């Protein structure tokens, strides 16, 4: 079955540690996205990537980093510079970037808790 997988589902880390969230898709989509979700704030875009080896900052990129070495993978690193990292993180993909009619499909999410 085609889809987007995120791992792990729950992640606990100590303050000051970097942590990497995994996102893999087998939909052959060009574009991939990372969102952060906090209660009452909807989805906020962290980073997106249109093609391999290319990515752009979203609205709240500070304290986060990404890589896109393979089309199917778009890992997100939450660094110690992120002041309030506890949140629910959603990965999404889209067949093509820049085409408004292309639907975004979402993974199941990773809940990160920093202790």
Partner 1 sequence: AQSVTQPDIHITVSEGASLELRCNYSYGATPYLFWYVQSPGQGLQLLLKYFSGDTLVQGIKGFEAEFKRSQSSFNLRKPSVHWSDAAEYFCAVGASGNQFYFGTGTSLTVIP
Site residues, partner 1 (CB under 8 A): 4, 6, 33, 40-43, 45, 48, 50, 56, 58, 88, 90, 92, 97-109, 111
CA dihedral over 49, 26, 9, 21, signed as positive or negative: negative
Smallest gap from Cβ 16 to partner 1, in A, equals 26
Cross-sheet strand order for the sheet of 76-78: 4-7, 19-25, 76-78, 64-66
- Between 17 and 108, name the residue whose CB sits nearer to partner 1: 108
In the complex, what is the shortest distance from the CB of residue 64 to partner 1, in angstroms, rounded to a whole number?
Answer: 16
Least Cβ distance, residue 31 to partner 1 (angstroms): 9
- For 24, half-sphere exposure in the C-beta direction (CA atoms, 13 angstrom radius) is 6
Over its C-alpha atoms, the chain yields an Rg (Å, rounded) of: 13
In the bound complex, what is the minimum distance in angstroms from residue 42's beta carbon to partner 1? 4
What is the rounded distance in angstroms from the CA atom of residue 41 to the CA atom of residue 26? 29
Residue number with CB closer to partner 1 (80 or 111): 111
Are 113 and 89 in contact by the 8 Å Cβ rule? The answer is: no
Cβ-based nearer residue to partner 1, 35 or 78: 35
């Amino acid at each position: 079955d085609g889809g987007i997988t995120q791992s792990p589902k729950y992640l606990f880390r100590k303050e000051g540690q970097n942590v990497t969230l995994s996102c893999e898709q087998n939909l052959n989509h060009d574009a991939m996205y990372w969102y952060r979700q906090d209660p009452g704030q909807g989805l906020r875009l962290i980073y997106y990537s249109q093609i391999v080896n290319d990515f752009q900052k979203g609205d709240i990129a500070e304290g986060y980093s990404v890589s896109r070495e393979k089309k199917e993978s778009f890992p997100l690193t939450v660094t110690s510079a992120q002041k309030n990292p506890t949140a629910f993180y959603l990965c999404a993909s889209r067949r093509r970037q820049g085409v408004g009619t292309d639907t975004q499909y979402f993974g199941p999410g990773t809940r990160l808790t920093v202790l």
